[in-house]
Amino acid sequence: MSEARLIRKYANRRLYDSTASRHVTLADLRELVAAGERIKVLDDKSGDDLTRAVLLQIIADQEQFGAPTLSTELLEMIIRFSSNPMQAMFSRYLEQGFGALLRQQESLRTEMSKTLGVPPLTAFADLARTQMDALASMQASFFGSVAASKPAPDAATDIPVSTPDEGK
């Protein structure tokens, strides 16, 4: 894997790309990351690693001003899970899921460029099906132990509720 591109963040909040020898914006960094570049953002004075904070800021800007990727419900789940003892496992699960998705996306690109005779939607449907199966399998193994430990509902307490319209 290639070395990360060094970005320095100055006290005035400006970002400087040491490789390209120029100031950059968050939008520039987003484009670099989207193109596959790895970045490392360091505070110019202290040398502290600010990479995660800058990447989160890029995501927040994209969610607020661009095309949102993360639903409100998903963001709430992530916040709830952040204090969970299984947080590290959750993080690995997300990394593996995204990694699998990106590998399959690249595989689709490769196959589409090699085979022009296959209808694109057929190849995409097959890939989506494979991805869903892989994610379902990962989810089952991840959440299987939680579901297995959940007590079954008591049939005696499951009393049907009647509505006013039922008697008519």
Mind listing the pLDDT tens digit for each residue in 114-138?
Answer: 776 656 667 677 778 888 888 888 7
Q: Are strands 5-9 and 15-17 parallel, antiparallel or unpaired?
A: antiparallel
DSSP for 17-32 reads: ETTTTEEE-HHHHHHH
Rounded to the nearest 5 percent, the helix, strand and coil shares of the chain are: 60, 10, 30
| pTM for the predicted model, two decimal places | 0.60
The residue written with tokens 């132990």 in the block is 145
Cα–Cα distance, 75 to 79 (Å, whole number) = 6
- Quick: pLDDT tens for 72-95: 898 888 888 887 788 888 888 889
Q: How does the average pLDDT of the chain come out, rounded?
A: 82
pLDDT for position 51: 97
List CB contacts of 61: < 8 A, sequence separation 6 or more.
26
**Are 131 and 99 within 8 A, CB to CB?**
no
- Quick: pLDDT tens for 2-19: 799 999 999 988 999 999
Cα–Cα distance, 134 to 139 (Å, whole number) = 9
Which of 53-62, 71-80, 141-150, 155-164 comes out lowest in average pLDDT?
155-164
Q: Which whole number is the average pLDDT over 38-63?
A: 95
Each domain of the chain, given as residue ranges in start order, spans 5-65, 72-148
